[in-house]
Amino acid sequence: MKPNIYTWLAITAIALPLTTTAQAQLNKAHHPAQPQTIIKNNKQLAADISADWYNRALTSIQQLSEQIKPLHSYGSFSATNMRSRAGFYISPSGYKVQCMQEKEWQVAFRLKGIGRSAIQWQPEGQYAISHTANQLQYRYDNIYIEYINNSDGLRQNFLVNRKMPGDGALKVTIEPATELQPRLLNSNSLAFFNSENKMLLAYEDLHVWDATHKALPAAMRYLNGLLTIEVDDSEATYPVTIDPLNKTPEWTTSADGLISGLTTAQLHASLYGYAVTGLGDVNGDGYGDAAISAPALTDIFSGTGSLASVGAVFVFYGSPAGLSTIPAKTLQPNTAVAGALFGTSVDAGDVTGDGINDIIVGAPLDSYTTTAAGIIPTNVTVKAGKVYVFPGGNTAAANPTNFIEIKLQGTGFFSTGIANILLSNVSVNALFGFSVAAAGDLNGDNKSDIVVGAPGFMGVGLSAIQNGAAFVYYSNNLTTTAPVQLETPTLSLLGLSLPILHNGLLFGFSVDGAGDYNNDGYLDVVAGAPAGVDLSSLSGIVNGQILSGTAHVYYGTGSGVNSNAGTTLKPTSGSLLGNAANLFGYKVKGLKAVNGIRNGSIAIGAPAGGLLPNTLTLTIQSGNVHIFKKKSSPGSSATSDQVLESPRSTSLLSILNTLDLNVLFGAAIDNAYDVNCDGYADLVVGEPLSSGATLLQLQANAVGGSAYVFLGNSNGTFHITPPYTASATYGSEFLSVNAVSLFGYSVAGVPYVRGIGSSPRILIGSPAAALDFDNSLLNLGSTLGILFDFVAVDNGLGKGYLFNTQLCIGETPLPVTLTEFKGQEKNTVINLTWRTSEEVNLNRFEVERSRDGVHFETIGIVFPRENASHGDYAFNDKNAATGNNYYRLKMIDNDAAFKFSNVLTFTSGPTTGMQMVVAPNPATDLINIQLTGLSESSYRLELRSVTGQKFIERSFNVTGFRHTEKLLRTASMTPGIYFLTIFGKTNQKIFSNRVIVL
C-alpha cells in the first residue's frame, strides 16, 4: 500500500506593506575602542522588576495585535496587520483584504475549489474549526484551509491530505472580486489597478518546490474572472509548496506632474526612465540617492522649452521615509543644444575627492567648436558629444550650473580630411558620452577617474574608420586635450589582419570600472564592443563565435591605466551560430561586493544571445548575461565562468506561434548589493522587450518587460533561478507590438535609501520608447536598428519604479520614528537636537561623530524619556575638531537591533572655504592630505603621537586653491592614533586632524 501523502499549497497575501518606520538589522561588525562616553538620563530598575519586563510586554502587545478574532457569525473571523496597514475578513469560502491608507479599496479572494481537469473539492459541507491566537484552520474531510497572521501579513495555506485522483496539473481555483482592474502580467503575476492605472496590489513571483526542495513547474492563469494556480506534481515528492508573493512598488515617478508647461506628446517623447542610477550619497546626509534621466526632454529648465531633446536628469534624495516624491535637483546645462540627449548615460563617484559622490552625465549629441586638422587647421563645429560632472554636496540651487565639461578637443581627434571631404570626420557623430562610468581611483590621487565611451567615433588619418572609442580621464585633469585612448580591438580572419572588420564595432557602447580583474592590486576598466566579430580561429567559427561581440579589460598600473587591452572577454562557446550577432558587450558591469567596492568580477550582457533549441519555426534569442570571475593571470582572452539565462526563455516556446522574438534579457545590468542579507552580493537584470507579436499571441505582459534579481553565491557566481521578479503593465491596454512600456530597459541597485543598515532597493526604468538607433543621427548600424525600430515611437508616458524585495530575513522595523534631527554651531560648540515619535522598545541613542564622513565613533549616549511615546532631545559636542565634523544618531532597541539617522555636517574653526581632507583614514603606508581654500603662502605640518612625540615635520608652499601633500609612514611609526596639524606662516594653528595608522 502506498503511504498517505498530502500536498501543501501556501499562498501569501501581504496587502500594501507600506511603512514609514526605519528599518534595522543586527550589525555584527567589530567596533574599535570608544572614547570617553557621556551618559544622560540614566535610570535604574526597581529590585523586584525583571530586567526583561519591557521586552516581554512588547512581545505580548505584538501577539495581541496579530490575533485572529471570531465574529458573531459562526465561522467568520477578522484580523488586522499593523505592518501592512490592512484589515482581513475571513470565512470558510475565502477572505477579503481592505487597505485603510489609500483611497478605500478591497479585494475578496473566494476559493472555488481544488482539483485537476475539473474541480473535485469545494469549501462546502461540514467542517471543524481549530483556532489559537494568530492561527486558524477550517478542517474538512480531506482539505484543511489554514490562515496565519504575523508580521509578514496574512498567510493562506491549503493542505490536501490525500493526492487528488486523475491526470493533469493540480489546480487551485480562486475568484477575485473587486472594483479594481485585475491583469495577469505574466505566468507568475496577477496585479490589481485602480481607475488611475496605479497598481495597488499584486500576486507575483510564483515559486513551487517539493519536499526535496526541487523546483516544480507552475503557472498562474487568469481567464473569465478566475485565477488558477497550476502545478505539475507528476514527479513531486510530497509535500509540495506553492508560494506566490504579492509585491507593489513602494515608490513611483513619471514626468507627468514633475514638469509643467509641456504637452502630452512632449512628455511622452521625453524618454523619462531611459537611464536610472543609484548615486550613493550625493548630498552628504547619510542616505542613498537616485537619478532618473529623460534624454529627449526639451530645455524646459535651462531655457524656454523650445529646444527639443536637450535632455535632463532628475535627482531624488533618500530619507527615513525613502526617496522623495519631488526631485531635489534637476540637472540640465544651459550650454547644451537641441538634440544633445543629455542623460543618455548617468553614473556617480567621488571625482572631486571631497568624500561626497559627484554626478556624471553623458550628452552624446551635444555640439561645440574645436580645432580640426587639415592643410590649414581650422575651427569647426562638431556634434561629437560632451560629458558633464556636477559636484556633490547640498547646494541650494535646484538647477545647478557649477558643472565641469569634458569633451574631445583639437587636431588629434578631428580632421577636415582631403579637400574638406575625403576622410573628414567633423560631420561624424562620435557619440562621446554615450556611456560613462566612475571607475575608481586609477592613478592614486584618492579621486575617482572617469571612463567615457564613444561608439560612433572615427579617428583621423588615412586608415581612419568608424570603429568607436573609449577614453579615460583622470580627475586631476578633466579638461585635458590628451586623455588616455583605450586601444580598439584588433580583429583578424584566421590569424590574418582584416582592418575592414573594425568598422561598426561600436567599441565603447558600454564602459565601466572593473575593479582588480587580474588580481595584481590595481584597478582596471572594461569596455564593450557589441557589434564586433571573432574570426581569429577555425574553432571559434565552428563553436558559434562568428559575429559575436566582445568586451575588453584594460589593466591598471597604480599610476594610471594601460591603453592596451590586457584580456578580451568572450561568451562561452556554444553551438554553431549560438553566439551570432549576440550583442555581447551591449552592457558591461564591474561587480561590487556587499560594501559597494568592485570585487574584480565582471558581468557582460548579450541581449541578443542565447539561441534556444526548438522544433518550432521560431528564431528565439532571449538574451543572456555572462559572468567572468576575478582571476590571476587570465591571459589574452577568457570565456565566461557562468551564463545566466532568461527565466522566461523555456516558457516562451509554449505560448508562441511562428514568430521572431527577442526579450532583450541582459540589456540592463546592475549591482543589487545584498538584498537578502546573506553576505553575498546580488545582481539585477532587465528584460524590457518581447517583439514581433500581438496581444493575443503573447498574452498581457509579454511586451511589458520584467526585471529579475539573482542572488549571489559564495564562489562569485549566482543562483540561476531568481527569487524576485518585478514585472508590470502600465498605460493603455496592449493593442499592437508598439504598445510597450519597456519596463526593465534600465535597472539600478540603490543602497541605503532609508539610511545605513536598510535593505537595498531596486530602481527600474520604463521609458516606453527607445532611441532610434538607425536614424541619421545615431546611425549605429542595422543590427540595433532592426532590434529597436518599432519602439522608437510614442508608446505612452515613461516612468520609474522603486521596489523593496523584502528578501532580507530578520530585517524588522525599529520602533522609533525620527521626525527631526538638526543642529547648529555656536562658539565652536556643536548643539544637536532631535525629535521622535512612536517610541516603543527603544533602549538608547548613541551620538556618533566622524572627521571623514565614513569612520564614526561614539561620543555620547542619551536615554529615552520614561513612559513617553515621543520626545525632544539634545546633545552638545564641546570637543569638535577643526574642520569638518559629521554627526549621526545610532538608535538602538532592546533587542540590540539598530538604525542610523541622517548625517549632519558642520565646519568648526576656519572659514567654510578652507578645508583639509585626510585619506585614507585609517591608513597603512601612504597618507594623502588635500588642502582647499588656503591662501598662497608657506605652511608647516606636524604629525605627532598621542604622547606628543614628533614623527614627521616639514614645510610646504601652497600655490593654488587646492593643494595635496603626501606622507609616507616611517619605520618607527607603530599602529595607533596620531595627530596631524597644519600651521600658518606665523605658527598659528590652521587645521588639526586625528589619523589612525594600522
Query: At 787, is the pLDDT very low, low, confident or very high (cuts 50, 70, 90)?
Result: very low
* Of residues 811 and 249, more confidently modeled: 249
Q: Is the pLDDT of residue 403 over 50?
A: yes
Q: Is the pLDDT of residue 660 over 50?
A: no
Q: Is the pLDDT of residue 205 over 60?
A: no
The mean pLDDT value for 649-671 works out to 63
Q: Is the pLDDT of residue 314 over 90?
A: yes
Under 8 Å between Cβ of 535 and 541: yes
Within 10 Å of residue 205's Cβ, how many Cβ atoms? 22
Cα distance between the two ends of the chain: 70
Under 8 Å between Cβ of 523 and 514: yes
Query: At 421, is the pLDDT very low, low, confident or very high (cuts 50, 70, 90)?
Result: low
Query: How high is the pLDDT of residue 282?
Result: 92
C-alpha cell at 362: 553623458
Q: Is the pLDDT of residue 130 over 70?
A: yes
Within 10 Å of residue 487's Cβ, how many Cβ atoms? 15
Residues 6+ apart with CB under 8 A from 235: none
C-alpha cell at 866: 520614561
- Is the model's pTM score more than 0.75? no
Distance (Å, rounded) from C-alpha 531 to C-alpha 509? 9
- Domain 814-908 part of CATH 2.60.40.10: yes
Instruction: Give me the percent of the chain exceeding a pLDDT of 70.
Output: 72
For domain 915-997, the CATH class is mainly beta
Query: How high is the pLDDT of residue 964?
Result: 84
**Residue 897, CA distances (Å) to 5, 31, 153, 599 in order:** 42, 15, 21, 29
Least confident of 191-200, 350-359, 599-608, 710-719: 191-200
Least confident of 241-245, 344-348, 445-449, 528-532: 241-245
* Of residues 64 and 544, more confidently modeled: 64
- 3-state secondary structure at position 309: coil
CATH number assigned to the domain covering 287-417+426-463: 2.130.10.130
* Of residues 936 and 613, more confidently modeled: 936
Within 10 Å of residue 446's Cβ, how many Cβ atoms? 20
Under 8 Å between Cβ of 748 and 670: yes
The mean pLDDT value for 464-488 works out to 91
C-alpha cell at 112: 472555488
Query: How high is the pLDDT of residue 386?
Result: 96
Residues 6+ apart with CB under 8 A from 172: 9, 11, 111, 114, 158, 228, 229, 242
Query: How high is the pLDDT of residue 100?
Result: 59
Least confident of 646-650, 853-857, 973-977: 646-650
DSSP-assigned letter for residue 161: S
Query: How high is the pLDDT of residue 701?
Result: 39
Same fold flag, 814-908 and 915-997:
yes
Q: Is the pLDDT of residue 753 over 70?
A: yes
Under 8 Å between Cβ of 943 and 967: yes
Q: For the segment 213-238, what is each residue's pLDDT rounded down to a tens digit? A: 556 677 788 888 999 988 887 877 66
The mean pLDDT value for 510-515 works out to 96
Residues 6+ apart with CB under 8 A from 990: 882, 910, 914, 916, 934, 939, 982, 983, 984
Q: Is the pLDDT of residue 8 over 80?
A: no
Q: For the segment 79-114, what is each residue's pLDDT rounded down to a tens digit? A: 887 655 678 889 999 888 887 555 577 888 899 999
Top-confidence range, 134-148, 391-405, 584-598: 584-598
Q: Using alpha carbons, select from 857, 905, 832, 834 the residue that is nearest to residue 284.
A: 905
The HSE-up count of residue 637 (CA atoms within 13 Å, CB side) is 13
Residues 6+ apart with CB under 8 A from 195: 181
Strands (E), 880-925: 883-893, 898-900, 904-908, 915-919
Residues 6+ apart with CB under 8 A from 985: 937, 938, 939
Distance (Å, rounded) from C-alpha 568 to C-alpha 526? 9
The mean pLDDT value for 39-65 works out to 53
- Ordered by start, the domain boundaries in the chain are 7-19+66-246, 261-272+667-805, 287-417+426-463, 814-908, 915-997
Q: For the segment 370-394, what is each residue's pLDDT rounded down to a tens digit? A: 988 888 888 999 999 999 999 998 7
Q: For the segment 260-295, what is each residue's pLDDT rounded down to a tens digit? A: 667 777 777 788 999 999 999 998 888 899 999 999
Query: How high is the pLDDT of residue 599?
Result: 94
Q: Is the pLDDT of residue 738 over 50?
A: no
- 3-state secondary structure at position 268: helix
Query: At 836, is the pLDDT very low, low, confident or very high (cuts 50, 70, 90)?
Result: confident
The mean pLDDT value for 742-771 works out to 85
Under 8 Å between Cβ of 835 and 820: yes
Distance (Å, rounded) from C-alpha 504 to C-alpha 491? 12
* Of residues 413 and 866, more confidently modeled: 413
Query: How high is the pLDDT of residue 702?
Result: 44
The mean pLDDT value for 391-419 works out to 84
Query: At 484, is the pLDDT very low, low, confident or very high (cuts 50, 70, 90)?
Result: very high
The mean pLDDT value for 123-130 works out to 88
Under 8 Å between Cβ of 438 and 448: yes
Query: How high is the pLDDT of residue 777?
Result: 42
Q: Is the pLDDT of residue 471 over 90?
A: yes
The mean pLDDT value for 173-179 works out to 91
User: Average model confidence (pLDDT) for the chain?
Assistant: 76
